[in-house]
Structure 1
Amino acid sequence: MTTGKKFTTIKQCMVALGIVLNILGAFLALNLRLPIYLDSIGTVLTGALLGPVYGVATGVLGSLISGITFDIYSLYYAPVQILTGLMAGLLFQTKWLKGRWLPLGSFVLSLPTSMASAAITAVIFGGITSSGSSYLVILMNNLGMNLTLSCFIVQVLTDYGDKLVAVLLVTAALKVLTPEMKGRIRGGGHGAL
């Protein structure tokens, strides 16, 4: 999807913006105890604009900074951000995240991340993390459902909601950008936006 091979100032700024969006979203979701995470909006944005490599870099760096500053759990979920950046970068190059395909494409985006998140949550944390979705895992587990299955079901539901929100926000942002702005961001261009 990228037309320029160099890591230009504009691309650096887009990655930085993506990291900030991830951190702010994660901080908001964590403090409001939302059942979705909001930590991948920037990852999806840079993946959509610059491709999977930039999406992966944005996601991993956002997880590292969030983990060091306010949510240690973020560090453990860096593999999920890798999958998100990779999938978003690839799926935005297809019809899957456009028009009537968007809800299904968001599910395709969320499925591998859900499996990775569920495994991390169940195996490393015993189903309990800093996320608001942990309340749902505890409830299902107390109702007699297996912990791993509880984690997987909750992750599928919450990851789908999270990725759908991220894709909808990114799609809205991309519609605002002119083709010239997108070209300058993707190709690096000269001068300011």
Structure 2
Amino acid sequence: MPELAQDPALRSESYDEIAKDLQRLRFDAGDIPYAEIVRRIAEHREQNGVPASASRPARTTVYDAFRLGRSRVNPTLVGEIVRALGVSEADVALWEARCLQARRQHDAEPPTGVPLPGAERIEAKRKPKQATLRASIILMVACVGINVAGFSIVPWLSLPLYLDMVGTAIAALVLGPWYGVAVGLATNAIGLSITDSSSIWFGLVNIVGALIWGYGARRFRMCQTFSRYVLLNAIVAVACTLVATTLLVLLFNGATGHAAEQTTDALVDMGEPLTLAVFISNLVHSLTDKGLTAFAALGAMGFVSRWFEVPFYVSLVETQPDGLLRLANMFDARKALASRAHARAVRDAL
């Protein structure tokens, strides 16, 4: 287990070093799930007189202690985490001392700039708004690129999916519904040069999806829990299916040559009416497609949350299954732990 030198004040510490050592400790303890760590912390708090209603820390708070790039770490919480992972009380004190040392070093770092007087200070206050606008434009362009990439890959691989609304979902959830609409329309306009004129009609599907994602997340609070987020994406799938079915039946006689239409053909051969066959086929494939879109968008929200405020992201992550939290943290953990032997070597060196 990583330990301090005899005098913590003599050792240089950083929050990233502490996070990496926490990752190593957790893996050495048997890759204990974050939910189990939360349960152990709550149990210890209750044994020390904390009411059960106030004893359980948020799972995302515990998860964040293992995350790199932190600018602040709670020493008491870190002590509770390592205690839950099986270290002795003496080592708990050492971990807390490491956190305090990292805080002293962080607070002692010289400021990167000095206050600006008068008009220069006013101009400096405007810069974050300009940066936010620029970042929003960059994100929208990236979202269009993601949509177009999915739009192009599907016919190339003959996939029975759509994959042309991942960027629409990201823009609608992070920036707002009408940003998603703009991304969706741009995607279908570009699609004209990839397929045929049918692409522009299906811009209506992108519009409907963007509005439901955006307003569902903000106005109807459908992203406050993971289960509601899954429900929101199912609603998007149903709504997009209704629009797509209408377009396919009225304008294209039920088919445009998409790989998913093999299901439609099979249903028609079984005697189902064309409209019902188109609806069932689209619904089945759309539910799968929007499920993949939901997880892709969730990962993207975690990535862009360092530049954009996504107010519901913390509660959304906190309520998702623990396995997804472990998956999200896997890359950082695997980088820090190339192998068990490497972990032991690092531990011994410390």
Shorter-chain TM-score bucket reads 0.7 to 0.9
Point out 4+ residue stretches in structure 1 off by more than 6 angstroms.
none
Q: Once the 2 structures are TM-superposed, how far is the Cα of residue 96 of structure 1 from its aligned partner?
A: 4.3
Q: Once the 2 structures are TM-superposed, how far is the Cα of residue 151 of structure 1 from its aligned partner?
A: 0.6
Q: Who wins on radius of gyration, i.e. which is larger?
A: 2
Q: Once the 2 structures are TM-superposed, how far is the Cα of residue 58 of structure 1 from its aligned partner?
A: 0.3
Alignment of 1:11-160 (within 5 A): 11-93=136-218, 94-96=221-223, 98-160=225-287
User: What RMSD, in angstroms, separates the aligned Cα atoms of the two structures?
Assistant: 2.2
Q: Once the 2 structures are TM-superposed, how far is the Cα of residue 105 of structure 1 from its aligned partner?
A: 1.9
Question: Identity over aligned residues, as a percent?
Answer: 21
Q: Which has the higher contact order (CA 8 A, sep 6+)?
A: 1
Match of 2:299 in 1: 172
Aligned equivalents of 1:7 and 1:69: distance in 2?
A: 32
Task: Report if the CA contact (8 A) 1:73-1:130 is conserved.
Answer: no
Q: 1:181 aligns with which of 286, 304, 307?
A: 307
Gaps of 5+ in 1: 185-193
TM-score (norm 2): 0.48
Match of 1:187 in 2: none
When the two structures are aligned, how many residues end up with a matched partner? Answer: 180
Aligned equivalents of 2:308 and 2:286: distance in 1?
A: 28
Task: Report if the CA contact (8 A) 1:97-1:105 is conserved.
Answer: no
TM-score (norm 1): 0.85
Aligned equivalents of 2:174 and 2:191: distance in 1?
A: 23
Aligned equivalents of 2:205 and 2:173: distance in 1?
A: 17
Aligned equivalents of 1:177 and 1:18: distance in 2?
A: 12
Task: Report if the CA contact (8 A) 1:71-1:130 is conserved.
Answer: no
Matching residue's letter, 2:235: V
Matching residue's letter, 1:169: A
Aligned equivalents of 2:199 and 2:243: distance in 1?
A: 13
Per-residue CA distance 1:37-56 (angstroms, 9 max, x = gap): 00000000100110001000
Q: Once the 2 structures are TM-superposed, how far is the Cα of residue 69 of structure 1 from its aligned partner?
A: 2.9
Matching residue's letter, 1:106: N
Gaps of 5+ in 2: 1-128, 311-350
Aligned equivalents of 1:131 and 1:31: distance in 2?
A: 11
Corresponding residue SS for 1:181: coil
Task: Report if the CA contact (8 A) 1:47-1:89 is conserved.
Answer: yes
Match of 1:190 in 2: none
